[in-house]
């Protein structure tokens, strides 16, 4: 695996391929320069995270969907937070769920939860907020800083 080191890396974990394509398009359109590494489930994300760590290239942010096959977002979050090497990486949950139990779970781990928006304008706004959690946020070039 080769990770681009000039750009901050965001590990995006979501099993919906259409969502991943849309996210990449929105980030590109907004002028964000990030190396977007995609994983389709928690196990794949952990494998990528371990490989990045071995190459001394941790992501500046991990974005998790909660509802995925196999190892879901909750299990992934719990595992990451239990690991010394990864527990300080910022995590944001980006999911279709707005259930009170899911919100409470995220609060327990001090992780913000964003509900996936249904329209493009709201998605752009949400992406701006999510990337604000990136440790290397200052390194992300933003051509459009207004998300209205």
- Spatial neighbors of 6 by CB under 8 A, at least 6 apart, are none
- Residue 2 placed within a domain: no
Check residue 69 and report its DSSP letter.
S
Report pLDDT digits (tens) over 15-30.
Answer: 999 989 989 888 888 8
CATH of the domain at 13: 3.40.50.2300
- Residue 1 placed within a domain: no
Report pLDDT digits (tens) over 76-129.
Answer: 999 999 999 898 899 999 999 999 999 999 999 999 999 998 888 888 888 888
Number of domains in the chain: 1
Whose CA is closest to 19, among 42, 36, 43, 1?
Answer: 36
């Amino acid at each position: 695996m080769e990770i681009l080191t000039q750009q901050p890396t965001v590990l995006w974990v979501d099993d919906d391929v259409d969502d991943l394509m849309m996210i990449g398009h929105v980030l590109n359109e907004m002028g964000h320069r990030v190396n977007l590494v995609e994983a389709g489930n928690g196990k794949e994300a952990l494998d990528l995270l371990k490989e990045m760590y071995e190459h001394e290239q941790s992501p500046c942010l991990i974005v998790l969907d909660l509802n995925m096959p196999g190892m879901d977002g909750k299990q992934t979050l719990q595992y990451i937070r239990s690991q010394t090497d990864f527990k300080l990486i910022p995590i944001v949950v980006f999911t279709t769920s707005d259930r009170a139990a899911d919100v409470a779970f995220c609060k327990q781990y001090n992780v913000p939860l964003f509900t996936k928006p249904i329209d493009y304008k709201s998605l752009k706004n949400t992406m701006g907020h999510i990337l604000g959690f990136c440790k290397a946020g200052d390194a992300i070039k933003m051509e459009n800083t207004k998300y209205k």
